[in-house]
């Protein structure tokens, strides 16, 4: 097992990465406020991993409540969030009860938001089970639900007390979901870690073949990057926004197509190609750089062109973004491969041209 720390002072917490961690209740026990937990999972992940987690904790004298939600991005909404509150209240969960998210980013984001707001905040632990959630969403304390008008628009910053990334859970992850997670892995290389991008380029086939060492390394290096950014800028006043490379375009795809039609990672991949194309139009990247971005996503089996929503519709959807300030889009672009920049200097005509160049 490898352990990283998210250095946030009194809210600092460890990220444990390794195989078989869900079966080690001691790792969780030391972070509980009381011997009472509510495990939030979904109907796909629960049959795979809930018993192992819950039985281990019960064996250690912890009382467990289980809250099982419907699966999917389309359920990351108020109605489903309310099922978590129904479960917490119906089982008389108290302020000292720890909410444990067992699942991918959808479960982590919703359980985290429930933990942030139930009785004004209860302890929270992330047990991510997708590649995307192990490399990104479980770390850093962003929690949210979607609104029909915009992705992740209602939420809170709320840090977990522990992230337990059991990479053996990736053995059961469908291929499409594994590839979607690779989009966020590649992102770290593009925005701030060129040697890691080069490693991804050299090891993409091993990652797709689920080589355990390659996957564990990708999770660890991604978490290290994310932990550094979050420690420097917890509430996204600056650098943290660079983690959203491709996301403003990508969120437009997810919202425009209907939540769950495109996976988040797929939308981020196509959105990142759009961001690279726009960076080239603003003179920051060469056409060879844009081709390099496209190639790594293609090799990861990810889409490199967005759906034909219509350029106007893309731009309209992109304005429902948390980075919009005074009605102006702020976008994450690439200054060079391995370095990102936040800018509001892209003209609407350039944004439209970049989208038009990258739709199927």
Look up residue 180 and give its two tokens.
Answer: 């979607």
Structural element, H or E, at residue 127: strand 124-128
**CA angle centred on 235, ends 234 and 238, rounded to 5°:** 90
Among the listed residues 22, 25, 42, 318, the single contact to ligand NAD using CB under 6 A: 42
The answer to whether residue 240 is catalytic is yes
140/189 with CB nearer ligand GLY: 140
Q: 342 CB contacts (<8 Å, ≥6 apart)? A: 238, 241, 242, 323, 330, 331, 332
Among the listed residues 107, 122, 164, 190, the single contact to ligand NAD using CB under 6 A: 107
123/150 with CB nearer ligand NAD: 150
Contact status, residue 116 vs residue 143, Cβ threshold 8 Å: yes
State the catalytic residue, choosing from 264, 294, 322, 330: 264
Report 215-254 residues binding ligand GLY (CB under 6 A).
240, 243-244
Burial of 91: CB neighbours in 10 Å, binned 0-12, 13-18, 19+: middle
Q: Helix, strand, or coil here: 357? A: helix
**CA angle centred on 256, ends 250 and 259, rounded to 5°:** 80
Among the listed residues 80, 98, 169, 225, the single contact to ligand NAD using CB under 6 A: 169
The answer to whether residue 247 is catalytic is yes
The answer to whether residue 244 is catalytic is yes
Q: What is the x/- site pattern for ligand NAD, positions 188-227, by CB under 6 A?
A: ----------------------------------------
The answer to whether residue 236 is catalytic is yes
> What distance in Å separates the CA atoms of residue 349 and residue 33, rounded to the nearest whole number?
54
State the catalytic residue, choosing from 73, 184, 254, 266: 184
Per DSSP, 50 falls in state I
Binding site for ligand NAD (CB under 6 A): 42, 44-45, 48, 71, 73, 76, 103-107, 109, 129-130, 132-133, 136-137, 140, 142, 152, 169, 172-173, 177, 180, 264-265
User: Which positions are annotated as active-site residues?
Assistant: 120, 142, 184, 226, 236, 240, 244, 247, 251, 264
């Amino acid at each position: 097992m490898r352990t990283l720390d998210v250095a946030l002072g009194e809210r600092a917490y460890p990220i444990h990465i390794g195989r078989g961690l869900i079966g080690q209740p001691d790792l969780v026990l030391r972070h509980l406020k009381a011997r009472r937990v509510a495990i939030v999972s979904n109907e796909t992940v629960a049959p795979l991993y809930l018993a192992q987690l819950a039985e281990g904790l019960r064996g250690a004298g912890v009382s467990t409540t289980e809250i099982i939600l419907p699966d999917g991005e389309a359920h990351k909404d108020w109605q489903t969030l309310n099922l978590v509150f129904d479960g917490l209240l119906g089982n008389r969960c108290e302020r000292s009860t720890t909410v444990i998210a067992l699942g991918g980013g959808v479960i982590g984001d919703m359980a985290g938001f429930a933990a942030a707001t139930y009785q004004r905040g209860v302890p929270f632990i992330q047990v991510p089970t997708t590649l995307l959630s192990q490399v990104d969403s479980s770390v850093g304390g962003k929690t949210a639900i979607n609104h029909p008008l915009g992705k992740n628009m209602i939420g809170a910053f709320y840090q977990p007390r522990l992230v337990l990334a059991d990479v053996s859970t990736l053995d059961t992850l469908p291929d499409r979901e594994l590839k979607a997670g690779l989009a966020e892995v590649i992102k770290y290389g593009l925005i701030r870690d060129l040697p890691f991008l080069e490693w991804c380029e050299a090891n993409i086939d091993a990652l797709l073949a689920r080589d355990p060492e390659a996957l564990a390394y990708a999770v660890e290096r991604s978490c290290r990057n994310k932990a550094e950014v979050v420690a420097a800028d917890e509430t996204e006043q600056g650098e943290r926004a660079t983690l959203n490379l491709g996301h403003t375009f990508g969120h437009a795809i997810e919202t425009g197509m209907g939540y769950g039609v495109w996976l988040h990672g797929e939308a981020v991949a196509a959105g990142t190609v759009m961001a690279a194309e726009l960076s080239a139009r603003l003179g920051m990247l060469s056409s060879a750089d844009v081709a390099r971005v496209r190639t790594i996503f293609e090799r990861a089996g990810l889409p490199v062109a967005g759906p034909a929503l219509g350029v106007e519709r893309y731009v309209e959807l992109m304005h429902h973004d948390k980075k919009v300030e005074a009605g102006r889009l702020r976008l994450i672009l690439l200054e060079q491969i391995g370095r990102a920049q936040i800018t509001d200097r892209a003209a609407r005509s350039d944004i439209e041209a970049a989208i038009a160049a990258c739709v199927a």
